[in-house]
Amino acid sequence: MSYQPDELQEILSIYKAETEEHLQKLNEGLLSLEKAPRRTETIEEIFREAHSLKGAARMIGFEPVEKIAHGLEDLFSQARKGELDFQRHVFDVIFVALDAISKLTAGWLENPGAPSPQVDDLLERIRAVRASPAGIPAVAAPPVPTAATLPAASTMTPPTAPTAASTAAQAPSLPIAKPAERSGDDHVAPASETGVRQIEETIRVTTQKLDDLMNQIGEILVTRIKFDERLAEIRVIERQIEQFQGVWATVRRRAAQAGDLWAVREIGDRVARLQDDIRHLATGFNEDTLRMTLVSGELQDSINRVRMLPLSALFNLFPRLLRDIARQEGKEVELQIEGAQAQLDKKIIEELKDPLTHLLRNALDHGIEKPEVRLSAGKRPVGHLKLSATQKASSVVIEIEDDGAGIDLERVRALALRRGFATDAELQEMTDQQILGLVFRPGFSTKGMITDLSGRGVGLDVVLTNIERMKGTITVASVPGRGSTFSIRLPITLATTQALLVKVSGQTFAIPLAAVEVIGEVGLDQVTSVESREAVLIEGVPTALVRLHEILHLKETSARMEAGDKMPVVVLGSTEERVAFLVDELLGEHEIVVKGFGAPLRRVRNVSGATIAGDGAIVLILNVFDLIKASQKVRGLWLADKRRAEAGLRAKSRVLVVDDSVTTRLLEKGILENNGYEVALAVDGVDALEKLANGNFDLVVSDVEMPRMNGFEFTRRLRREEAHRELPVILVTSLSSEEDKKTGVEAGADAYIVKGAFDQGNLIATIRQLL
């Protein structure tokens, strides 16, 4: 029977989806059998899958796959009869066969007219297993699958993909998937009141058609926003008429006094009728807008749901991947999957396959130790990997957690210094989170040996690039000896998104809300400096402060910040850093339709796309990652310089800050420098004594709880030395009891400030009083 090209293409598409479904179920069943080899129901299931796989290949005339599937079917039939034990070498042969089917199918579908490849060697292996099921020599372990050899994410289909039973029952026809015949299939709808199982009919639709529908929905959403704008304009006219009525009442009183009321009454009546008409128009327009909002919202949700796939379509690919990697590396690992029912846009799932593959391979290769190493460290010999997903509002958070060796921060620092990613001074000022973020730099790898799994400096930088392309974020947390956790936050769909609209230099911009961590205001008295960068304290952590118009190369806003004024600030976060951006005005949160740029504007710095506002204006959507990278190059102390100038301060005194916490040291250093003091840093009492012996200081600000020498002992040592007996000392500590304060005074401290009630104004006032 001959087919038209479009019919043949549809038939091949159905066959491909069906084959991948059978292969996935076979992989899942075999992985289950490795843990419990004698589960009869699982053996029955994989036998049926092999039979269906054979039938589908036979229907389209793909002889190599038909032969392999037939061999597996015979092997599973032997297992059903109890004549085959599922030993390690048996699984190896079967997995090699499944990989061969996957590769053969992909190659043949790309070129259906190509000669059929030979599979005699593989068939001979299968026959050898059947002939000597308990004693043949083990075959070589199958090659570790890569992202490329996993089933293509672009072909993942929802549970409504056709089954072998439906395809084998008739010759291929038009692209309509027939109802499933197998019980338990996800096609089956709930039983009706009569007890008859209702079968849902399905039809295959290309994703391009769904994309076209989504684009049209986007236009409806823009129109809906315009309706809201028009309604607001009508409300303004309504208020203006109400105000006019008040003025008209005054005119009418004066006309009555002059004895001329006819014209006044006529105009008043017409205005009243106009007011009624406007109210009626506003009411009707409001009802129409609400109905349009409801209908368009439901339509948008419906199309979104059609595009959605459960993450299980992707997550179920990984047990087999990790099984083969563990075998090759001589490791043991158990994979725990949670939240696979969470749903994402099909396009995002397609793009997510490579990043998750990289992360899972790295977790097993870099993180999970070999069994003997784990036992010596007091751990179970079997490593634990957890892949989980949690749906949160309009986003999904995916986490990959392992209980392996964790990331060695000191090794990361050393490698970053050796590779030139950062200077020694920059590394000293970085937080642990910023240090961890370096592992996403291109060419970064802590692996000592290059293998086919990792260690080539390729992987995590690719992960970051792919996640950024999907408008997502990724962070890493690690505890040495206990493991690491990579967290990915992604929008549910890329077609629309929630955004924060801001105004900068007279222009409106959209910032994806998923990247916004904090929204607030900042004043001059809250600004500090860290390493020649403006900073503000956000949730107790010094955060770089940058004016957004500088990054976007726009003219400086006319609104200047004066003492006592506050400016809106938006804190954005990425993998390595978070930055507070000053804007002119916050315009609120809105749902926007994301429009990408075509050639030649596919990559525009600081911009990821555009949307259309309700008034028809084009609003650029900012690229958060570009903004943060660009902010790292901004140096200058505009607010701090302005504050010092207003206070009339001069750098006259040198202050030594002593604290073992890098965050506290940098925070206090920024506060003091902003107020005109020269600052040096020491990490504990011993280090401070050395600094004092080699330099002159006018005052010391010290913590109490520090290694080697605490603040109390440090102060006592100073008071015993003639050169420092009168040197002012301020203790800034979290120790708040009266006994601790008494100890500080007895040690010789001039002031005692509790961190829990820490106020930079109080610190500066105390310093000025002592100096």
Q: Where are the alpha helices (DSSP H) in 183-261?
A: 207-258
80 and 28 part of one domain: yes
Contact 66, 58 (CB under 8 A): yes
Tell me which of 101, 116, 142 is where a domain ends: 142
CATH of the domain at 125: 1.20.120.160
pTM listed for this prediction: 0.56
Residue type, 419: R
pLDDT of amino acid 144: 42
481 and 548 part of one domain: no
Is 561 inside a domain boundary? yes
382 and 419 part of one domain: yes
Percent of the chain with pLDDT over 90: 14
pLDDT of amino acid 41: 84
CATH of the domain at 481: 3.30.565.10
629 and 709 part of one domain: no
Is 404 inside a domain boundary? yes
Distances (CA, A) of 507 to 191, 226, 457, 556, 592: 57, 19, 41, 12, 17
421 and 336 part of one domain: yes
Is 167 inside a domain boundary? no
**How is the beta sheet containing 483-491 ordered, strand by strand?**
333-338, 383-392, 395-402, 483-491, 473-479
Taking residues 5-27, what's their average pLDDT? 76
Is 183 inside a domain boundary? no
pLDDT of amino acid 598: 62
Structure tokens at 268: 């008043």
Domain that holds residue 335: 311-490
pLDDT higher than threshold 60 for residue 531: no
pLDDT of amino acid 284: 81
In whole angstroms, what is the distance from residue 341 CA to residue 182 CA?
22
Contact 53, 46 (CB under 8 A): no
pLDDT of amino acid 632: 72
Is 179 inside a domain boundary? no
Contact 490, 467 (CB under 8 A): yes
What pairing do the DSSP bridges indicate for beta strands 516-523 and 566-573? antiparallel
Res. 163 pLDDT band, cuts 50 70 90: very low
600 and 535 part of one domain: yes
Number of domains in the chain: 5
Picking from 479, 460, 461, 440, the residue whose alpha carbon sits closest to that of residue 360 is 460
Under DSSP, is residue 547 helix (H, G, I), strand (E, B) or coil? Answer: strand
Q: What is the DSSP letter of 182?
A: S
327 and 442 part of one domain: yes
Tell me which of 577, 604, 639 is where a domain ends: 639
When mean pLDDT is compared over 289-298, 380-389, 534-543, the highest value belongs to 380-389
Phi, psi of 566 (to 5 degrees): -130, 145
Taking residues 623-635, what's their average pLDDT? 78
Q: What is the DSSP letter of 653?
A: -
Taking residues 714-731, what's their average pLDDT? 90
467-498 pLDDT, tens digit each:
877 878 888 889 889 999 999 988 887 767 78
Taking residues 245-253, what's their average pLDDT? 75
572-600 pLDDT, tens digit each:
876 557 889 999 989 888 877 777 766 56
Picking from 579, 475, 607, the residue whose alpha carbon sits closest to that of residue 518 is 579
655-690 pLDDT, tens digit each:
999 998 887 888 888 888 877 788 899 999 999 999
Residue type, 519: I
Taking residues 527-536, what's their average pLDDT? 68
303 and 315 part of one domain: no
pLDDT higher than threshold 90 for residue 233: no
Is 164 inside a domain boundary? no
pLDDT of amino acid 627: 87
Is 747 inside a domain boundary? yes
CATH of the domain at 764: 3.40.50.2300
pLDDT of amino acid 446: 54
pLDDT of amino acid 581: 92
237 and 216 part of one domain: yes
Contact 151, 20 (CB under 8 A): yes
Is 712 inside a domain boundary? yes
294 and 318 part of one domain: no
Under DSSP, is residue 153 helix (H, G, I), strand (E, B) or coil? Answer: helix
Q: CA triplet 740, 741, 743: central angle to 5 degrees?
A: 65
Res. 9 pLDDT band, cuts 50 70 90: low
What pairing do the DSSP bridges indicate for beta strands 699-702 and 483-491? unpaired
166-181 pLDDT, tens digit each:
333 333 322 223 323 3
When mean pLDDT is compared over 182-186, 283-287, 376-380, 668-672, the highest value belongs to 376-380
Taking residues 227-251, what's their average pLDDT? 79
117-155 pLDDT, tens digit each:
778 888 888 888 888 755 444 444 444 444 444 444 444
Q: Where are the alpha helices (DSSP H) in 259-317?
A: 262-307, 312-315
pLDDT higher than threshold 90 for residue 256: no
Q: CA triplet 258, 259, 265: central angle to 5 degrees?
A: 105
More confident of the two residues 510 and 446: 510
433 and 538 part of one domain: no
Taking residues 220-226, what's their average pLDDT? 72
More confident of the two residues 452 and 3: 3
Q: Which residue has the tokens 């990331």?
A: 407
What average pLDDT does the chain have?
Answer: 76
44-79 pLDDT, tens digit each:
888 888 888 888 787 677 888 888 988 888 888 888
CB atoms under 10 Å from CB of 270, counted, come to 10
CB atoms under 10 Å from CB of 421, counted, come to 17
272 and 365 part of one domain: no
Tell me which of 490, 524, 551 is where a domain ends: 490
CATH of the domain at 583: 2.40.50.180
Contact 510, 622 (CB under 8 A): yes
Under DSSP, is residue 427 helix (H, G, I), strand (E, B) or coil? Answer: helix
Structure tokens at 193: 């009141």
